[in-house]
Structure 1
Amino acid sequence: MHSPLPTRPLHLFVTCAAWAAWLALAVQLLLILQARLADQASLVGGVLHFFGYFTILTNTLVAAVLTAAARHKGAGAHSFWLRPWVSSGVTASIILVGMAYSLLLRDTWNPQGVQWVVNELLHDIMPPVFVVFWWWCVPKGTLQVRHVVAWSVYPVAYFGYCLLRGNAIGVYPYPFIDVGTLGYGRVLVNALVILLGFVIISLVLVGLDRWQGKRQRQATD
C-alpha cells in the first residue's frame, strides 16, 4: 500500500527528522521534571503537565509518523500513520503549532540555553520539516474536504479537555484560553478564530493534494 521512500537522501532526512522530534520531546520532558524536582512537586503532575500542551501532543504525532516512514512500514501496526489522510491531518496540526506560536506566544517568554534549542525544534523547525516530508513522501490525490471535518476533531477535543482541566485545577496551558483571566466569552472567540485558521490550513492542504495528485496522474498517462 505504501512504498519505501524514493531516495536514500530522503530516507536519511526522514530518519534524522524522526530522531530530532523524539529528542526534542525527551529533553523537554526532562526539563519539566527537573523543574518539578527543584520545586519538590509531583513528577506525575509534571508528566501530565507535559502532555497538556497541544505542541507536545502534535509533535508526538509528528514523531510517530516520521518513525513509521523511516522504518518503511506499509502494513501492520504502523500503516495507520502512513495513510495519507492521517499524515495530512498531522501536517495541518503541526502547521497550526508553528503559526500559533509565532503569532500568539513568541513574545510571551524568553527561553534560554537548552530550553531555547528545544523550543526552536518544537515550534520553528519541526513544522517546516514535516511539511517537506508531507510534500515529498505522502501519496497525493486522495484527500477530500470531508477529511477536514475529521482532522478538526483533534483541536476541538483538545480545547474541550483544556476547559475541563482548567475548571478542575485552575491552570490553562496557553494564555489565549485562560478562562480565569479572559472569561469564557473571549476564550470561545479565540478558540473559534484558531479553529478557523486550522480549517483554512486544512483546505489549503486538500487543494495542494488534489493539484499534485492531478499532476502525477498526468505525468504517468
Structure 2
Amino acid sequence: MSLQKPIPIKIFLAILSCFAWFALIPQFFITIGNGNAPWFENFIRYFSYFTLLTNAMVAVYCTVLLVAPNSRWGRFFARTGTATAITVYITIVGLIYNIILRKLAQFEGLQKILNEVQHVIVPVLFVLYWCVFVNKSSLRWKDFLPWLGYPFIYLLFVLVRGSFSNFYPYPFIHLGNIGLQQTLINAALMGVLFILMSLAFIGIGKLWSRKK
C-alpha cells in the first residue's frame, strides 16, 4: 500500500522539517564550540538535552515521511501512535520551557532565535500538524504505555551520566544541587505529566474522530 502524502501535507512537512533542522544544526556547532568543556564532552552534552533530542525526532519524522514514506521507517512514522507520541513529547518541551525554564536564562542573537524555534515554533507547528493531518481514529487508551519508554530511558541516562560528569541539563533533575529525594520527586511529577498529557491527546483524538 502506498503511503504517499497529498501535496498540502508534503508542504507542511517540508516547512516543519526546515524549522526543525534549523533548530538543530546551528545549535550543534554552537554547543561544540563552547569553550567551557572539551569538544567531546560538549558533543555528549548536546545529546543530553530532551529539547534537542525531541526536536531531532521531529526533524527525522518529517524528513522520512517526505523522502521515504514507503520505507520501513516511513511506515513506522506513519502510524497514528507514533505521531501522537511525538506530539506529546514536543508539547512537553514547549510547556516546561515556557512555564518553568524561560525566566532562568536570557539569550541574545542567533541563540535567542534558535531557542524560540526549539521551544515555540516547532512545538506549535507539530501540534498543528497533528490536529490537521493525523488520522486519530485508531487511538486507544492503552497506547500511551510504550510512549513512556523514551522519557524513562532519557532520565536514566541523564542521572547515571550526571553522577560521573556532574552535568545535568535541567535544574529540576540536578542531583548534585537538589539531592536524590527532590530529584526523584521531580522525576515522578514529570512522569505523571507525561501520562496525563498522553491521555489528554488520546482523549482529544477520540473526540475529534467521533465528531468527524
Superposed pair shares fold, TM > 0.5: yes
Aligned counterpart in structure 2 of residue 113 of structure 1, from 101, 109, 116: 109
Separation (CA, whole Å) in 2 of partners of 1:116 and 1:29: 14
Q: Which residue does 1:46 correspond to in 2? A: 42
Could you list the per-position Cα deviations for residues 26-79 of structure 1 after superposition, in whole angstroms to 9, with x for gaps in the alignment? Answer: 01101112223xx5x432222111000000111111111111233361443322
**1:81 maps to 2:80:** no
Separation (CA, whole Å) in 1 of partners of 2:205 and 2:127: 12
Separation (CA, whole Å) in 1 of partners of 2:202 and 2:73: 26
Calculate percent identity across the aligned residue pairs. Answer: 30
Q: TM-score, normalised by structure 2?
A: 0.93
Q: Which residue does 1:95 correspond to in 2? A: 91
**Deviation for aligned residue 1:212:** 2.1
Q: Is the 8 A contact 2:32 2:42 kept in 1?
A: yes
**Deviation for aligned residue 1:123:** 0.5
Separation (CA, whole Å) in 2 of partners of 1:184 and 1:97: 23
Q: Secondary structure at the match of 1:131?
A: helix
**1:161 maps to 2:160:** no
**Deviation for aligned residue 1:9:** 4.0
- Matching of residues 121-132 of structure 1 within 5 Å: 121-132=117-128
**Deviation for aligned residue 1:211:** 1.6
- For the aligned residues, what is the CA RMSD? 1.7
Q: Is the 8 A contact 2:23 2:55 kept in 1?
A: no
Q: Which residue does 2:172 correspond to in 1? A: 176
**Deviation for aligned residue 1:148:** 1.1
Letter in 1 for 2:15: C
Q: Is the 8 A contact 2:64 2:73 kept in 1?
A: no
Q: Is the 8 A contact 2:17 2:62 kept in 1?
A: yes
Q: Which residue does 2:65 correspond to in 1? A: 69
Q: Secondary structure at the match of 2:168?
A: coil
Assess, with a 3 A threshold, how the Cα gap between structure 1 residues 205 and 74 changes in structure 2: closer, same or farther: farther
**Deviation for aligned residue 1:16:** 1.2
Unaligned ranges ≥5, structure 1: 217-221
Q: Which residue does 2:148 correspond to in 1? A: 152
Q: Is the 8 A contact 1:28 1:115 kept in 2?
A: yes
**1:34 maps to 2:30:** no
Separation (CA, whole Å) in 1 of partners of 2:140 and 2:70: 22
Could you list the per-position Cα deviations for residues 62-98 of structure 1 after superposition, in whole angstroms to 9, with x for gaps in the alignment? Answer: 1111112333614433221221111110110000100
**Deviation for aligned residue 1:2:** 6.6
Separation (CA, whole Å) in 2 of partners of 1:67 and 1:193: 33
Q: Which residue does 1:219 correspond to in 2? A: none
Aligned counterpart in structure 2 of residue 57 of structure 1, from 48, 53, 60: 53
Separation (CA, whole Å) in 1 of partners of 2:60 and 2:131: 17
**Deviation for aligned residue 1:144:** 1.5
**1:14 maps to 2:10:** no
Unaligned ranges ≥5, structure 2: none
Could you list the per-position Cα deviations for residues 81-124 of structure 1 after superposition, in whole angstroms to 9, with x for gaps in the alignment? Answer: 22111111011000010001012110110011000000000001
